[in-house]
A and B are shown apart, each in its own frame.
Chain A
Amino acid sequence: MSHRSYLFPISILLLGLSLLLNLSLGSVWIPFGEILSGLISGDWAKTSWEQIILNYRLPKALVAIFAGIGLSLSGLQMQTFFRNPLAGPFVLGISSGAGLGVAILMLAGSALGFALSGINSWAIATAGILGAGLVLSGVSLVAWRVKDSMTLLIVGLMFGSAVSAVVSILSFFSGAEALKLYTVWSMGSLGALGWTQVSILGILIAIGSLPVFLSIKSYNALLLGENYARSMGIRTGQMRWVMILSTGILAGGITAFCGPIAFLGIAVPHLARMVWKSSDHRILFPGSALMGAILLLLCDAVGQLPGLASTLPINAVTSLVGAPLVISLILKRNFSKDF
């Protein structure tokens, strides 16, 4: 427990730096000092800077932090629960489930020939969470019956492809405008949210993270598998629902608001294990949360480099960063050995 706890202040410092970097980069470069003094005192050197920071970059950075925390926490929970290093919101179809919910909301009206009015942020979030919960319940029902994690992965992938097939059918029949709306959503974006949506997302992340931190002990017991956990007095049936509910709210909510964000959920828990050299969830949960926030802030910053007029879709950036990362993790060391 005591070893490597000095890494927490360092990562908090890194989080602050990444936040500043994220805020300063964009079509206009704003110096660190100006951002700090502006945020603290409320006096900005230029009113345009105030506009840019307060109305655009700060909400986006907060969304990056929230999404980074939420995706990493749901990935870590699933990896521990399923005892599978490749588990994560994407692989087990939760994100595609959220996508299905949103697709039904955005496309079904158009496909069935009537317009759904009032697609607001609440409706999108609800649809995403419901879709994620639906797919995750399906996967867990299967997980209940089969104990083999390989089977579970295949089932998750199958659920994912079935869901994308449904989305394809919906897209095929829907109108151009609705389709564009959905396509843009599916590329992922941290920036399209106003302060209301940001606070909704913040509340969702808080609600979804609460059961995680309340179940730290149970997750530590689950490191030895469900049977051992049960023998140590952990109610594993109850834990399964805690996990489903928490990852459904976290991954579902984030995907609903920001679109799919790949790889973060799988890669960050592994990074945290490597950096902190621990499997104790008292370290891994806060560690993954910090690391996820830092990584997503940096990925967003990469997509915003000065000189580029528009920003890269965040999903593309995280995939470009995440895929080589996961490959190098697999090549570098025995994945399951450190797990």
Chain B
Amino acid sequence: MSPRPHVPILKGKDLQLGYLKNGKRREVLSRLDFELFVGEMTCLLGPNGVGKSTLIKAILGQIQPWEGSLMLEGKPISSFSPENLARKMAVVLTEPIFPGNMTVRELVALGRIPYTGWMGKLTDEDKNVVEKAIELTKIAYLKDERLSEISDGQRQKAMIARAIAQDADLIILDEPTAHLDLVNRFEIMTLLRDIAIEQKKAVLVVTHDLEIAIETADRFWLLTCGNPLQSGSPEDLILSGEINQLLPSKRIQFSPKRGRMEIRESFEDIFISGPEDWVYWVRKGLSKAGIQAVQDKILVQVDPFRITLGDKTFQKVEELISDLKST
């Protein structure tokens, strides 16, 4: 594979954002510096209410920065006309608006609106772009289905196809995997990654799915209360421990080993021996059951699975827990 280009398409410098309430300025975000690269998938992570939506609105040109600069391809966002901005930037928003009578193909074709005449008539080239977007998102089998008759995950893919048909270099998605099941979440995020790499687009995804984001993103933007925006590859942020910024509570911590958030357990007073992975799950079960200390040593054996505590053996973690609770 040829090396991926490393060109920033979007650049924020010393950005300050907020909104007006009763004539007073309410600052939401300040001193933001970031760069978004073509050919990369960037995930914006942060707790609810930290200002992710405000940042997205600023990038979309819906609110003006109070201070600092926000440049798209080297020019301020505000200098683009709505029509030109639409050719540079496409979005998939959280609001669930679906005209039920519309077919998937018609929805994807709406992406050509910045390019068509006043009637919205599609040229042959427009039609090709639409078909290609449908193929890329692997929804060709849904082309003629109505939006009211397909699943949430399929609709989300159709919305992504619409954004692709808009033929913009920058695609922004606001929580595209919310309300979706696990398989769909993985599928959509890997699809977005493929699009970023293969179609040479800059893809910015706002998400709360840390684990899937680690698997798929090239770059993380961490936005947390009171901290400047942290940008870096997920791997670097994990190794440096900066990922824990997302977790202000001491009880929950990121486990570099398992690549996910975990409740910190106090298991100094429980001794379990056996194969590591099995011990892990037994310990988790005990911890969740609120068992802080066990006098005897616990032995976990595999093939067949057995847990031995003193002179008692158990087939299931559940049995062990109920025994410990009864004594």
Contact = CB atoms under 8 A, between A and B. Distances in A.
B82 A233 contact: yes
Contact of B99 (A214, A230, A279): A279
Given A217-B120, A280-B106, A338-B148, A233 B114 contact: yes
B102 A279 contact: yes
A223 B110 CA distance: 10
A163 to B, nearest CB: 31
B110 A224 contact: yes
Given A217-B118, A224-B110, A339-B101, A232 B95 contact: no
> Among the interface residues B62, B110, B114, which one has the most CB atoms of the partner chain A within 10 A?
B110
B16 interface: no
B111 interface: yes
Contact of B113 (A225, A227, A234, A235): A234
Nearest to A336: B100
B101 A273 contact: yes
Contact of B100 (A231, A280, A338): A338
A228 B97 contact: yes
A337 B166 CA distance: 26
Q: Max chain A CB contacts within 10 Å: which of B82, B84, B114, B116?
A: B82
Interface stretch (B64-72, B85-93, B228-236): B85-93
A240 interface: no
A280 B148 CA distance: 15
Interface residues of B, number: 31
Interface in A252-302: 273, 277-280, 282
A325 interface: no
Interface string B99-123: 1111000100011011011111000
Contacts of B82: 230, 233-235
Nearest to B122: A1
B110 A232 contact: yes
A220 interface: yes
Nearest to A147: B95
Given A336-B100, A339-B101, A231 B90 contact: yes
Interface string A208-228: 000000111100110111011
Given A231-B60, A231-B89, A231-B90, A216 B120 contact: yes
Contact of A220 (B91, B97, B120): B120
Nearest to A274: B101
B303 interface: no
Contacts of B89: 231
Contacts of A220: 110, 113, 120
Interface in B38-77: 60, 62
Nearest to B120: A217
B113 A214 contact: no
Classify chain A's interface size.
Answer: 20 to 34
B101 A277 contact: yes
A282 B97 contact: no
Given A214-B118, A216-B119, A338-B148, A83 B97 contact: yes
Interface in A304-339: 334, 336-339
A56 to B, nearest CB: 39
Contact of B120 (A282, A336, A338): A282
A224 B96 CA distance: 9
B83 interface: yes
A289 to B, nearest CB: 16
A217 B116 CA distance: 9
Query: B60, B113, B114: which has the most chain A beta carbons within 10 Å?
Result: B113
A235 B62 CA distance: 12
Contact of B110 (A221, A273, A278, A336): A221
Interface string B5-48: 00000000000000000000000000000000000000000000
B119 A224 contact: no
B95 A227 contact: yes
B95 A337 contact: no
A278 B99 CA distance: 9
A233 B113 contact: yes
A27 B118 CA distance: 47
A232 B119 contact: no
A337 B83 CA distance: 31
Interface string B183-199: 00000000000000000
A339 B100 contact: yes
Interface in A65-123: 83
Contacts of B93: 225, 227-228, 231
Contact of B118 (A216, A221, A227, A280): A216
A84 to B, nearest CB: 12
Given A83-B97, A230-B82, 17 more contacts: A220-B120, A224-B97, A224-B99, A224-B110, A227-B91, A231-B91, A231-B93, A232-B111, A232-B114, A233-B83, A233-B86, A234-B113, A235-B82, A334-B100, A336-B100, A337-B100, A339-B99
10 contacts: A217-B120, A220-B110, A221-B113, A223-B97, A227-B95, A230-B62, A232-B113, A234-B113, A279-B102, A334-B100
6 residue pairs, one from A and one from B, having the closest CB atoms: A233-B86, A217-B120, A279-B101, A233-B83, A225-B97, A279-B99
